[in-house]
Chain A
């Protein structure tokens, strides 16, 4: 007579949950602790380099949403001046096709990901808001030249190797702002 199903499976499962009681929680206390995102993160913004842009409009054609507005006028025979360059990040799906298509490396994805706004109108990034600056840094998505400046991504995978569930957190001094902010 074979005895199974007398509660051994339940006991095994309960032993496992009990064991988990002594493992470190994997929770990241988000607003205080922030993990480093991937170097190639497609953050919720675009970064534009006006001096490199020729106004060719490839990005507007590449956008699946038809979301980039580009208005130019011809100044010299072979040169366009960009009058208007706007992107509505409320409609953008952050696919990165515009960055990929830009032949002059004039466009990059941003690092920032905390872009909640109170008004829809604030999502529209115009020329000034798009221009790269200290607070508005490009990610390395399709732009490997920015790769070296960015911190390494914090991976959940590398926890046990370094003893317990140790995640690489940002230092607390930067806790108020995200890595791209």
Chain B
């Protein structure tokens, strides 16, 4: 005998403790089991792509900060690289190295947030988050030292960066890089072998390799599924071919692998910054000579870089005026979040939350 039951619709978000912003998930449940899940996006839409059409190339840089606000420096770099490619501007050597240092520090900061809140979603009441914020705070301190703000950096400029770093900056980075591996060990000690964490995340929310590739996922989500795809290695932009680092990949593509990949990437970022600090030219300009209201030549350019959350692309079309004719942003998490249904169906509500947390979503980027 079968009992006729009705599906149970649950609306998670846009106000919910763990939607990481204002995402809304329309979930169909059977008991606690997820039958269907549909992300509803757009609650943070600010029309940045349209706003960009009315602003000069330099004026758009502060707006890119507001995309992925946890990794604003990387957005700055990606946008500036797109415009540089369009206009054929060469960034000075020191500028390139500093860009790498800032991007990798930003990657560490972003992954600290991602891992911390992933663990918080599992239920480790704020403790990992607060431990990881301590290190993130140090990175933000250094960013504040260089560019004057902690979140909306607006540091990169077309052709390099706005100012050279102050003289206290490099010793601070050196000290941070020397300390950081020990802290990462501590995070590993805190929860990496914890039986409850393993039970909750191993084998949960598996994203098979084929699905990951076919939906176009990128970043740690893709690498956790076992695809060795990292633009820094595959298509070395900037000066990433000069550094020696590994691309950590997971095996199964479950939540634990995504967590593990992020932890390993932090270690690799530390390695890259170490090498960049060694190779950094002592003196020299950090910015190419670009006029403030410069006109990019007619044409279009697309640059895709490896942001902390995946492949972040900027597509700039110029009609020869001082403002871009069209700016398109290819946000990694928008693509990654389309994998939600593949990962979450059949699991419980509690798993839905950690699967969502393991994607590492920032709504500023998805809704733009």
Contacts and interface: CB of A to CB of B under 8 A. Distances in A.
B172 A155 contact: yes
Contacts of A141: 148
B194 interface: yes
A100 B160 CA distance: 14
Contacts of B61: 95
Contact of A42 (B149, B189, B192): B149
Nearest to B292: A101
A89 interface: no
Nearest to A58: B292
Given A13-B190, A157-B142, A42 B148 contact: yes
A64 B63 contact: yes
Contact of A64 (B62, B163, B166, B168): B62
* Chain A interface bracket (under 10, 10 to 19, 20 to 34, 35 or more): 35 or more
A78 B138 CA distance: 49
A5 B198 contact: yes
A16 B189 contact: yes
Contacts of A41: 144, 148-149
Interface in B144-194: 144-149, 152, 154, 162-163, 166, 168, 172, 175-176, 179, 186, 189-194
Contacts of B134: 26, 156
Contact of B148 (A5, A13, A139, A155): A139
Interface in A25-77: 26, 37-42, 58, 61-64
A146 interface: no
Interface in B99-126: none
Contact of A158 (B58, B154, B175): B175
Contact of A40 (B58, B127, B137, B145): B145
A38 B144 contact: yes
A152 B172 contact: no
Contacts of B127: 17
A38 B152 contact: no
B66 to A, nearest CB: 9
Contact of B154 (A5, A8, A95, A157): A95
A158 B145 CA distance: 14
Given A10-B195, A16-B190, A62 B154 contact: no
Contacts of B149: 41-42, 94
Contacts of B190: 12-13, 16-17
Contact of B58 (A97, A109, A142): A97
A7 interface: yes
Contact of B162 (A10, A142, A152): A142
A156 B58 contact: no
B119 to A, nearest CB: 11
B141 interface: yes
Given A153-B145, A156-B137, A157-B176, A10 B194 contact: yes
A9 interface: yes
Interface string B292-312: 110000000000000000000
Interface string B184-212: 00100111111111100000000000000
B172 A62 contact: no
Given A8-B193, A62-B59, A158-B175, A100 B186 contact: no
B148 A152 contact: no
B249 to A, nearest CB: 23
Given A17-B190, A42-B149, A62 B195 contact: no
A5 B191 CA distance: 13
Nearest to B66: A93
Given A7-B195, A101-B292, A153 B144 contact: yes
Contacts of B142: 155, 157
* Residue among A41, A58, A95, A141 having the largest count of chain B Cβ atoms under 10 Å: A95
A13 B194 contact: yes
A68 B149 CA distance: 21
A20 B187 CA distance: 12
Interface in B55-75: 55, 58-63
A15 B147 CA distance: 39
A155 B138 contact: yes
Contacts of B131: 20
Interface in A89-104: 93-97, 100-101
A167 B142 CA distance: 15
Contact of A156 (B59, B141, B163): B141
7 contacts: A8-B193, A10-B196, A20-B131, A58-B292, A63-B59, A93-B62, A160-B179
Interface of A: 5, 7-10, 12-13, 15-17, 20, 26, 37-42, 58, 61-64, 93-97, 100-101, 109, 139, 141-142, 147, 152-153, 155-158, 160-161
Given A158-B175, A160-B179, 9 more contacts: A9-B191, A40-B148, A40-B163, A42-B149, A64-B59, A97-B58, A97-B59, A109-B148, A156-B137
